[in-house]
Structure formats: C-alpha cells, structure tokens
Amino acid sequence: MRHFYAIIAVMLTGSIPFTLRGQLIPLHSQYFFNGYMINPAMAGFDGTETFNVVVRQQWVGYEGNPKTYWLGYQNRILKRRFRLKEKLFGEGKKYVPKTTGRVGGGFNLFNDTYGILRRTGGQAAYSYNIVLGLSGYHLSFGLSASLYTLRIDPEKMKIIDKQDPFLNELKNERTVVPDFAAGVTLRNNHFYAGLSAGQLTQSSFKIFNSGDYRHYKPGRTYSLLGGWHVYETADLDVMPSMLLKTTEYRYLDTATLKTGKFTLRAQIETGIRVTIRDKFWIGGAYRSNNDIVGYTGFRYN
C-alpha cells in the first residue's frame, strides 16, 4: 500500500542566536514519519510504501530564519514465497502464499538554510529487520550514506566591526561533504526505541584561510529516540515521543582561530502527536533550548 504524507511545521522561539559549532544536521521534529533521517534502522519502519514532503520553518518573521525543504521515499522490500500447510479437513497438504520482508530502504533529497549556511544534498538508507520469535518484537539494524554540499555565504552577514579579522576570513565557498550514519531500533505494535550515531566520517572542510578551521571536522552526533501509543482506536491515536540528541562541539577562539577540545552538548525534545482516523494529524513539541514546535499534516492513500 502506498501512502503520501505532507507535513508543515512551524517553530517559535524568543531569540535567534548564531554560533559557529560542529552541528551541521538540524534537529527535525518530523521523525514521527521520517525516522530514518535520524536513525537509518527505521527505513521501511512500518512495512508500507511511503512518500513524504516536508516544508519546515523556524523563527517565522525573522530575517535569515532556518528553512527546510525535504522530499523522501521509504519502503519495506517484500518477498512473496510459498509454505506448506495442512489442509483444513486433513486431506493432505497444500502450498499457500506467504509475504515476508526483512530489508527496508529509503532515500531523500533536502535543502536546509539557516543563517549564512546552506546544506543541499541527499541520503540513502538501508535496514535489516529481525523478528524476535512470537513476541511481536522486531530488531532492526541500519546504515545510511549521504552526500551534500555546504555553502557559507558571508554576504548575508551584517558586520558591525568591518575590521574584525575573524569575519574577514569567511569565504564564499561550496564544499562537498560525504557522511555515514548507523543505528539500531527495537519495536512492537505499541512502542519503538532506537539509538543511532551520525557524522561518522567527520569529513573536513575549509571555512577560513588560517587557523584550525582550514580543515574543520564537525563532531559526531548521537541520538536516542522513542515513542509509544498511549491511546489507540480506529478513530484516534495519541502518541507521545522523546528525542535526546548529543553532539560533539568544538569551540573557536576568535583571537587565534584555534579550536579547543570536543565537548558534548545535549538537547532534549518531548512531543505528542494526535492522529484522527489515520488521515490527519496535529502535534507539538518542546525542546530544552525553549523552542516550541507545532506541525500538522495529512496522509493520502
């Protein structure tokens, strides 16, 4: 069965800080439907063929606010085979069809703009699913590969001190960055939980002409996410979720353009989604940095 999802998300917050850090992967709240963005083991998660379109804006009304445009597809690769089964009235055996599938896959194209940064590229994910006996639990392992271009546009900056050597080092350059991620999930019909790691290659790229950022390497990201159906009927489904993301940050000394040691910084997001008749949904989330996220969408079969 094919599903088409359309998602619109808006984020509100009280301020827009800009800090040059190691996080290049924005934190998306649409992992309800696009979990393999964060954890590749969730590719083909629910066994259906799904198309997704995401339009996302943060800090609406502010100049240079973050924007995301995202187009994705995922599916479980099913195999049709036959198994031998006893006939109902004991008159021998017969072959009956059995549909199974352990391999899932997905890919997406994305364009992220936030401040002076633009990230444009694609990602392909692979997952392998194991059924754990008759308990209804599935254990999944996943890998993903991505390739994107990163552009820093200093012309979008409003510079107060034009003599600042740090800001004058910024170059309008486009860099191609490869990346890999890995993850694992455990799920049944009522809940899911997963652990993943991203930016594994820590591919270096150039930001300045001098200092440590001539060959800057972003820090790895580690994500723990989960959700559970607390109320589920044919007409209504209520599902809270949680995402804990930890990123390795490396801070920059603007006087020497030297970087310090990696430190870990965590961000937590808790949210809830309400789905009506498996067609429409509305939800919201709160992040530990005081961001409030609202989103809505629909599904077309």
Name the phi and psi angles at 67, rounded to 5.
-135, 145
Share of the chain above pLDDT 70, in %: 64
The model's pLDDT over 55-64, given as tens digits with 9 standing for 90+, comes to 777 766 677 7
The model's pLDDT over 31-50, given as tens digits with 9 standing for 90+, comes to 766 788 899 999 988 777 88
pTM of the model: 0.74
Q: Indicate if the pLDDT at residue 5 is higher than 60.
A: no
**What is the structure's pLDDT at 68?**
85
Q: Which of 245, 216, 278 is nearest to 37 (CA)?
A: 245
Q: Indicate if the pLDDT at residue 211 is higher than 90.
A: no
b/e string for 171-194 if b means 16 or more Cβ within 10 A? eeeeeebebebbbbbbbeeeebeb
CA atoms within 13 A on the CB side of 41: 23
The first and second tokens of residue 84, run together, are: 């031998």
**What is the structure's pLDDT at 176?**
86
d(CA 93, CA 87): 5
Contact indicator for 149, 119 with CB cutoff of 8 Å: yes
pLDDT band at 11 (very low <50, low <70, confident <90, very high): very low
Give the strand pairing for 2-12 and 49-58: parallel
**What is the structure's pLDDT at 41?**
95
Q: Indicate if the pLDDT at residue 99 is higher than 60.
A: no
The first and second tokens of residue 38, run together, are: 């964060």
